[in-house]
Chain A
Amino acid sequence: MSSNKKYWKSVEELNENSSIVETLQQNEFVQEIPTDEFLGDKSSLENSSTTRRDFLKYVGFSTAAASLAACEGPVIKSIPYVVQPDRIVPGVANYYATTIADGFDFASVLIKTREGRPIKVENNNLATSNGEANARVHASVLSLYDSSRLKGPKKGAEDISWSELDKEVGAKLNGLGGKKIVLLTQTFASPSTSKLIAEFKAKYANVSQVVYDSVSYSEALDAYEMMYGERALADYDFSKVNTVVSIAADFLGDWQGGGYDGGYAQGRVPKNGKMSKHIQFEANMSLSGANADNRIQATPTQQKQVLAALYKYVTGAGSKGALDATLDAEVVKAAKHIQKAGSNAVVVSGIQDVDAQLLVLAINKHINSKAFNENTPRKIRQGNSKAVAQLVKDMNAGRVGALLIAGVNPVYSLPNAQEFKDGLEKVDLSVAFSMHNDETASVCNYIATTPHYLESWGDVELKKGSYSLMQPTIRPLFDTRQFQETLLKWTGNSASYNDYIKDAWTGVLGGTSWSQALHDGVLVKPILPKESLEEAINTPEGEVVEETPAGPNVGAAARRLATAKANGLELTLYTKTALGDGQQANNPWLQEMPDPITRASWDNYLTISRADAESLGLINENVANGALNGSYATVTVNGVNVTAPVIIQPGQAKGSVGLALGYGKTAGLKEEMQVGVNAFALYQNQNAVQPVTLAKAEGTHEFACVQLHNTLMGRGDIIKETTLEIFNTKDKHVWNAVPEVSKNHIEYEVTSPEVDLWDEFDRSVGHHFNLSIDLNACTGCGACVIACHAENNVPVVGKSEMRRSRDMHWLRIDRYYSSQESFEGDNAKKDAISGLGSSLSEFGEMEVPSDNPEVAFQPVMCQHCNHAPCETVCPVAATSHGRQGQNHMAYNRCVGTRYCANNCPYKVRRFNWFLYNENDEFDYHMNNDLGRMVINPDVTVRSRGVMEKCSMCIQMTQKTILDAKRDGRVIKDGEFQTACSAACSSGAMTFGDINDKDSKVAKLKEDNRMYHLLEHVGTKPNVMYQTKVRNTTEA
C-alpha cells in the first residue's frame, strides 16, 4: 500500500454524493437480503420448541443411530410354500404353451415361468403357423405386470363387485324393450367364443356381433369372400416360392397379422447358388421394402396402376392405364420374373381396395402359386369396417340398447371417435371389457375388467385347421374375469370357460388327447381340399376355372384400378414394429425399442421424401448434443388436422407421406408413455391411404433417435455385400476378402498368427461359443432386441436419456442406407476419391442417403473378441475372458472408469449413468413391485456406475451345461442358445459350440460368406457375420 492510487470500482464513484456508493460502503449488498424468507420471522423462531442445540442433538443421534443400524445386516425372511405344487421347484423354470390373441397379434408361444411368475416369451417350435413371436409378443409379458391395469370391475368411476355387476347388467339386458344388443369385439378367431356368442344370441333377443379390427383388413376380407365364399384372408407360405412381388404389402411387418418372416428368410439364404428374388413396390419405407432386392417407389395411386399393369402383363387380360414410363419398365421386369418362375412366384398386396385384392387373388390363381393354399385361409382378421360404420349410425339414431365392447378401444382408434362417443350416450347400457381404464372404458357405464392373456383360457383358429390353445400361466393378479367367463355367467351357464373349451374341443381334438393338445399348445387338422372336390362335381369338363360366371368381375376391377387418379399428396398410415395398433402403449420396452427403419424411439412422426421436405421447408438436423431435431408439419385430411414431427425418410416415394398408428394414447397409461400423435384421427373410413395437404408448423421436435449417421460412407467391410452373380461366379477373395497387413514386405491376412501381436488363448478344450448372424436372413424385425431386454433385465432409460445416446440396449440393429443407388456404388465412389478437394466434397455427399437407397440391417452386440481391447484397459480387471469364448463382465468389480467403452471398437458397452431401478426419476417397470416381477432371477440387476454389456447369455449356456452334467450326457448341437438366437424366427442367428465340429455354427464359421466385423482391428471376435448377397439377376 505504498501508492496512493485510488482504484475506481465504478463510474458511480465519480459522483461524490452518490447514495449507492454510500450504501455500498456500509453494506455489501445494496438491497437488504431477505433473511426472513428463509429464517422466518423472529417470533415464530422463538416460539419453536426446537432450539439449535436440540437440533444438533437430533442430528447427532440420528447419524449415530443410522450408522449403528448399518452395522447389522438386514434380516432376510424366507417363506416356503405351505403346500408346494408338484410341478414347481424353486429355481427351476417351467414352460407353458399358450397363445396371444389380442386382436392384432396372434402367435403360439411358450411362456417361461419362474416360481409361478411368467418372465419370458419364447417361440413355440411345434407351431406350423404363427409360431414366431414378434417384438410386441415378446414384450407382452411385461404388459401383464402393467401397474396401470384395472384392479377390479367398475361402475363408472366406482368399484363394484362382480355379483352386483352381473345383477345390474343382467337386469338391464332383460329390460331393453326390444332394442338391439350389440357385441363390438376384436377378432377372436376362437371357435369356442363363437359358439358362446351364438348361445348368448339365443338367450337374449336381438343380439348382433360387430367385429372391429383397429387396423382394418375389411377390403381384403371382402375380396376373398367374393372369390372363395369365405370371409378370411389369403394365406401365403413364402418358403415354397422363389419369386416374391409385393405391392405395398409389408409382409415382414404386420401385414395380415405378420408371421411370414420365417418362410421368407428360408429362400433368402443362397443355397446351391440360388436364392429368392424379392421385388417391392411401395410408398413408405417398410421392413419388406428394406429387405427387397429391388425396391421401387410408387405412391398409393401408382401402386394401383402398377398392380393393374402387372395383371395385364402376367395374365394378358385387362388393361394398363397411364403408368409412368420408368414404373412401367419395372413392372415389365417384375412380370418377366413372375412368368419365369411360374408357380414358384407369388404376388401379394397391401392395397386397401377390394379391386386390388381381387386382382392379387386372380394373379396367384393364374400362375397357380405354390405359396397360396386356398384351403387354409387365415382367420385372424375378421373386422368389418362397414358394419362398424353402420353401428355408429345406429347408436346415434338410438337403435342400440346395449353395447358390449370387448378387446377394442373405438374411442381411441375410430376416426369418428367423437361421433361414437355421442352415440354411446344414447345407448342405455354400455359395458367395456378392458384391462385398462382407456378412452372407451372410461366413458362406458360399466367396466368388466378382463385379465391379461397370460391369465386367461382360450382357443384360436389361426388359419383353417390350425388351432392354438391359450392357458393361464399365472393366477389372475387382480379381481378380473375374462370376457368369455362373463358371457357364460350372463347366459346362465355355470361351467367355467376352461371346461367350456374342453367341451367344445371334443370335435376338434380327433385322436389327440386334451392334455397333449394343451401341452403342445397347437393342433393342426388336415383340411381336405373342399374346393377342388366341389369343383370336380360342379364344373363341367373343359370349362376354365377363371370363367366361373358366379365369380367376381376381375376384368372390371382391373379397369377401375388402371384408371386410379392421384389427388395431390397421399398419406399412408402404417403400424410400427414397436407399438403396432397401440394396445401395448404402456409397455416401456416397446416404447424404447428403436424403429428398425428410422431408429427413432418414443415417437411417431411423418415420414416424407427429401424432395417434398425441401419444397415445404421441413428440416431434420443433428444438434450440438448429438441428437436429432425435426420440424413439425400439420397434416389435414377432410378438415381434420394433426400436427406431427417430420422425419425425412430416404426411399419415401415422392408425393407420399407416412404416419404410424398406435401412438398418442392418453387414457389409462402413465404420463411418460403418452408420446406421439394419434393418427387414427386421419384413418377415415378405416382406409390407410388418404389424400392430404401438408403445411409446415411452428416449433422444433426433439427426437430420441439412436442412429444419426445413416450411411456407410463406402466402408464396405462393415456390411459386406455382393450380388448373387458375383457370389456364384467369383472366388471368395473377390467378394469377401480378408484384410491384409504387411510384415517384412510380405502381405499377410490379419487373421494369420504370423501378424498377431497377442498370445493366442487356447480354446480347443471344452466349449467355444460362437454366434453367426446371417445378414441375408435378418429382416431387422427387432424380436431379438426385446428378447434380450427380457432375458437380461436391461433397464429402460426414457426418452430424454435415449436422446442423449444413453440407451441400454445390449443388442442393437444398425440400419444403413446407401448414398448411391447401391452400396456397391458407394464403395466405387469412395475408391475414386483422390485429393483434398475431392474428399472434402464427395465424402460430404456420401453422408446423405440416396433417395431410393439400398438398405442393410446389422445386429450388433458385444462381439466377445478373443483379443478384446476392453479387457486390457480395465484398471480393476472387471472384464476378463473366459475359456468358452465369452467376454465376462463382473459388475461387482467394476468401478465405472468407462475405459472399456472408450476402447471398444464396436461401441457395444453400456454404462449405468443412473440407478434405473427403484428410482422415481425412471418411473418404468423397475420402479414398482408389479413391474419387477418380470425380472429374470438368474441375472443381476445392475446398479448405478457400472458398465454392462451382452454376456452372450452366459446364464443360458451355463444352465445348458449344468443340465447335461447332471444327466451325465454330451450336449447336442442346438441345445446352446442365447435369448436373441432363440427369438430369431428367420433363422438369421445361429449359436453354438465351434469345438463341436459337426455343429451348425462350426460349419457356418467355415462358410465362404463368413466375415468378422472390423476384421482389420485384429480383435478376433466370437460373433461372425455372413456376407449379404443381393439377387440382382434379371429375368
Chain B
Amino acid sequence: MKQVKYRNSASKLLLLGTVFLFSLMNPVFAQEEAATTEAATAESATGGDVAKGEALFKSLCAACHKRYKKMTGPALFGVADKYEREWIYSWVKNSAAMIASGDARAVAIYEEYKRTPMNAFPQLTNTDIDNILAYVMVPKGPSGPTGVTGTTPTVVDNSGASTTLILGALVLVFLMLVVVLFLVNKTLRSFAEANGVEFAEEEVRTPIWKAFVQNQFLVLVSAIFVLLASGYFVYGYLMQVGVDQGYMPIQPIHYSHKIHAGDNKIECKYCHSSARVSKHSGIPSLNVCMNCHKSIAEVAESTATDEYSKEFYDGEIKKLYKAVGWDEAEQAYTGKTEPVKWVRIHNLPDFAYFNHSQHVSVAGVECQTCHGPVEEMEIMYQHAPLTMGWCINCHRETNVKVEGNEYYEKIHAELSKKYGVDKLTAAQMGGLECGKCHY
C-alpha cells in the first residue's frame, strides 16, 4: 500500500509541475500588444486646424450634425466643396437672415430639413469656421474618426482563447499521464511475476460498512448528523423559495447599464427620475431614451466588446427606434409605437410597501446600496435578496439622515435624548414597526 501511496504522490507532483509550466507559458500570450498608431495632426487640405475644429464641432455642432450622416441637420462632410467659403461663413453666423433674404440655396436647405432653423453662431470667427470645416472635411477612414485625432490603444484580449487552450492541453497531458501510469504499473507487475515476487495476502477483514452498522454509537452519531445536515439544507432550500437573488432575465432590448451608467457616467436618476418623488423608481419611458438616442444612432467602435459587437449594439438601438417609432432617414417620428415589455427584475410581494423616494430623496441612500454595482452590469440582475431580514438589517444599522431636514429636528432631539445616542438608526425611528411597510 505504501508503494501505491508513494506512486500517487509522485503523479500529483508531476501534475502540479505541468500546471506550473503551463502557467508560466500564459504571460507569453498576454504580452502580445498591438502597436500604437501615431497621431496625424497635420494641417488639412482646406487650411484649418483639425484639432481645434474638432473641439469646436463637438461643443457647438454635434447636437445637430454628424460628419458622415444626416441628423437634425445635414451631414457636413464635403460641405466645403459644395458651397463657397463666404457663403458658409454667413450661413453659420446667421442662417435665418439668409433665408429671410431669399437666398435660393439657403431656402432649399431650410425646406429640406422641415423648416428647422439652425442656431446662429455670431461668436465664431472665420478662422473658427475654417477649423471646423477642416475637421468635417476629413474623409471617413477605415479606423473611423478616432484615427485622426489621437491614439487609442487597441487592447487585444486573448485571455478567453488562451484559457481554453491551456485547459485542453492540461486535459491531454493528464490523460497521457493516466495511460503512462497504467502501463508502468502493468509492466512492473509483470516484472514482479516473472521474478517470482509474491504479494502478501491481505487479511480478510469485516467490510467497513458492516463494522459501521455494528458500531451503534457511530450509527447514532451519523444519523443525528445526517438529520441535522438535511434539516439545515432543507431549511436553506426553503428560505430560498421566492428569493430571486441573481435573477437575470433576458430583456427585449439588450440595455447595458455598464455602457450608460458606467462608461458614460449617466446619473441613475436622470432616467429613473420618479425615484426622487415616487414609490416607484420607474422604468424610463422611451421618450427619455430619445433625449440622447435621437443623435446617437450607433455606438463607437470602442464600445464593442468580444462578446457584443458594434453591430449588435447598433441593432439594439434600432429596436429602440422601432419601438418609439423613429424614422432615422427622415429624422422624424412616425407615430407608430410599440411599447417595450421589459421583464421586471425586482419584484416585491404585494403586501410589502416600499417607497423609493423615502430612501433616495430623504435618506440619500445610493442606488447601488440595494441594486449593487449597476454601473458594471452588462445585463441587469437582482443584486440583493430583497428579503425582510435584509431590509430590517439595514434599518438596524443605518443612521437616519436628519441633517438639514426640518422635519426631523424635534423628533431627533427628543429621541436621541430618550435613547442616549447621538445618531439614530432607522429602527430607533420606528422603522421596524410592522405597519410601516405592511398595510
Interface residues of A (CB under 8 A from B): 73, 75-84, 89-92, 762, 764-766, 878, 880, 882-884, 886, 888-893, 938-941, 951, 954-955, 958, 961-962, 964-971
Contacts and interface: CB of A to CB of B under 8 A. Distances in A.
B435 A91 contact: no
B137 interface: no
Contact of B355 (A76, A886, A890, A962): A962
Contact of B351 (A80, A765, A892, A968): A892
Contact of A891 (B283, B324, B340, B438): B438
B86 interface: no
B287 interface: yes
Contact of B278 (A91, A883, A964): A91
B355 to A, nearest CB: 6
A925 B169 CA distance: 69
B406 A968 contact: yes
B357 A962 contact: yes
B31 to A, nearest CB: 46
Interface of B: 242, 244, 247, 249, 274, 277-280, 282-288, 323-325, 337, 339-344, 347, 349-353, 355, 357-358, 361-362, 404-411, 414-415, 418, 430, 433-436, 438-439
Contact of A889 (B349, B358, B435, B436): B435
B286 A954 contact: no
B282 A89 contact: yes
A954 B435 contact: yes
A890 B286 contact: no
Given A75-B343, A889-B435, A965-B405, A955 B353 contact: yes
Given A764-B414, A954-B439, A970-B407, A888 B434 contact: yes
B423 to A, nearest CB: 16
B411 A89 contact: no
Contact of B344 (A76, A83, A970): A76
Contacts of B408: 965
Contacts of A962: 355, 357-358, 362
Contact of B350 (A77, A84, A92, A940): A940
A80 B285 contact: yes
Contact of A893 (B325, B411, B434): B434
Interface centre among A89, A762, A893 (most CB of B within 10 A): A89
Given A82-B287, A962-B355, A965-B407, A890 B434 contact: yes
Given A82-B323, A888-B438, A966-B361, A90 B430 contact: no
B349 A892 contact: yes
Given A90-B280, A765-B414, 17 more contacts: A76-B344, A78-B343, A82-B324, A83-B337, A89-B282, A92-B277, A766-B415, A766-B430, A880-B434, A884-B430, A892-B349, A893-B438, A940-B438, A954-B439, A955-B439, A965-B408, A970-B409
Q: Main SS of the interface on chain A?
A: loop
A749 B294 CA distance: 75
Given A90-B282, A955-B353, A77 B439 contact: no
B278 A89 contact: yes
A884 B429 CA distance: 11
A884 B436 CA distance: 10
Contacts of B339: 79-82
Given A91-B280, A958-B436, A765 B407 contact: no
Contacts of B353: 938, 955, 958
B192 to A, nearest CB: 56
Nearest to A968: B405
Contact of A968 (B278, B404, B438): B404
Interface centre among B280, B341, B404 (most CB of A within 10 A): B280
Nearest to B288: A84
A82 B286 contact: yes
Contact of A83 (B274, B285, B361): B285
B242 A73 contact: yes
Contacts of A764: 414
Contacts of B277: 89, 92, 966
B252 to A, nearest CB: 9
B435 A78 contact: no
B274 A940 contact: no
15 contacts: A75-B343, A79-B341, A80-B285, A81-B339, A89-B277, A92-B277, A766-B430, A880-B434, A882-B434, A888-B434, A889-B439, A890-B438, A892-B351, A893-B434, A955-B353
B438 A964 contact: no
A413 B392 CA distance: 60
Given A73-B242, A892-B438, A80 B406 contact: no
A968 B408 CA distance: 8
A1014 B341 CA distance: 55
A91 B404 contact: no
Nearest to B415: A765
A765 to B, nearest CB: 4
A49 B358 CA distance: 63
6 residue pairs, one from A and one from B, having the closest CB atoms? A888-B435, A91-B278, A84-B285, A81-B285, A91-B280, A80-B283
Nearest to A955: B439
A78 B405 contact: no
Nearest to B282: A90
Given A765-B415, A765-B418, A766-B411, A966 B357 contact: yes
Contacts of A882: 430, 433-436
Contacts of A83: 285-287, 337
Nearest to A941: B350
B343 A77 contact: yes
Given A76-B344, A966-B277, A940 B439 contact: yes
Nearest to A73: B244
Contacts of A78: 283, 341-344
Contact of B279 (A91, A893, A965, A971): A91
A886 B343 CA distance: 37
B411 A76 contact: no
B286 A80 contact: yes
A883 B430 contact: yes
B324 A969 contact: no
B287 A965 contact: no
A939 B353 CA distance: 9
A880 B242 contact: no
Contacts of A966: 277, 357, 361-362
Contacts of A889: 435, 439
Contacts of A80: 282-286, 339-340, 342
B405 A76 contact: no
A327 to B, nearest CB: 54
Nearest to B435: A888
A970 B415 CA distance: 16
A888 to B, nearest CB: 3
B45 to A, nearest CB: 45
A958 B433 CA distance: 12
Contact of A890 (B247, B430, B435): B435
B321 to A, nearest CB: 12
A76 B347 contact: yes
Contacts of A951: 435, 439
Contacts of A89: 274, 277-278, 282
A84 B291 CA distance: 13
Nearest to B438: A890
A940 B358 CA distance: 19
A764 B413 CA distance: 12
Given A75-B249, A765-B415, A966-B362, A883 B433 contact: yes
A968 B357 CA distance: 13
A89 B344 CA distance: 18
B274 A91 contact: yes
A969 B430 contact: no
A762 B430 CA distance: 12
A608 B284 CA distance: 63
B407 A971 contact: yes
B236 to A, nearest CB: 16
Contacts of B350: 940-941
A962 B358 CA distance: 7
B406 A970 contact: yes
Contacts of A892: 349, 351-352, 438
